[in-house]
A and B are shown apart, each in its own frame.
Chain A
Amino acid sequence: EDQVTQSPEALRLQEGESSSLNCSYTVSGLRGLFWYRQDPGKGPEFLFTLYSAGEEKEKERLKATLTKKESFLHITAPKPEDSATYLCAVQASNSNSGYALNFGKGTSLLVTP
């Protein structure tokens, strides 16, 4: 059965204190791994797609990496506006629900000034 596990559940950082969020996954055939940011009362905002081990994507202070078993979302010198819940999702190539995103439970990030 496909599984997506995110850690930690919650993370509190000082402004400028870099850290990483983890997404471990078990899937029979990865079609894609996706990172989203969700602010309270809003829908998930798409950040990155990763398709194969070794791939990296960057956007401002965020960098996503992928191995065969996990993905990391690195946050460099975070600012308070980076506070949000970060969701990881995988799409499996052999799923009956081929389009479905299997989400992790998310990491709630709080960045304090």
Chain B
Amino acid sequence: DTEVTQTPKHLVMGMTNKKSLKCEQHMGHRAMYWYKQKAKKPPELMFVYSYEKLSINESVPSRFSPECPNSSLLNLHLHALQPEDSALYLCASSQGADTTTGQPQHFGDGTRLSIL
């Protein structure tokens, strides 16, 4: 069982809807990430939070809005999405980013998002 929990597992929404994806981890990790993954492709980084502060935004459209309420929770607010935004959205966490050696990221099972 994964230690990163994402809800909902599936989401279908229209282009005018507003919805949120949620992610929770209880491993004491201080870095959290959102990735987007299309079928048969590797995950693509969207956002990085380090110590609850947004540190990286990989040129993601403003219709995606991340939020980190505390060190265990990460949200992704969605508004006015396009059909091409349909994908698997993955959350991940790692111990922290201020280390000299790379730390593995631990992924949740994702939210399968479909835009009608």
Contacts and interface: CB of A to CB of B under 8 A. Distances in A.
Given A32-B102, A46-B105, A49-B102, A106 B97 contact: no
Interface in B24-63: 31, 33, 41-43, 45, 48, 50, 55-56, 58
A80 B106 CA distance: 24
Contacts of B43: 44, 101, 103
B90 A101 contact: no
B67 interface: no
B42 A99 contact: no
Given A32-B102, A103-B42, A105-B42, A43 B48 contact: no
A105 B41 contact: yes
Contacts of A42: 109-110
B79 interface: no
Interface residues of B, number: 31
B103 A43 contact: no
Given A43-B90, A43-B107, A99-B33, A34 B102 contact: yes
Interface in A26-69: 31-34, 36, 41-46, 49, 51
Interface in B96-114: 97, 100-110, 112
A88 to B, nearest CB: 9
A84 B93 CA distance: 22
Nearest to A97: B56
Nearest to A34: B104
B108 to A, nearest CB: 5
A36 to B, nearest CB: 8
Interface of A: 31-34, 36, 41-46, 49, 51, 87, 89, 91, 93, 97-101, 103-106
A-B complex: 5 closest residue pairs judged by Cβ atoms: A32-B102, A103-B42, A43-B107, A31-B102, A91-B102
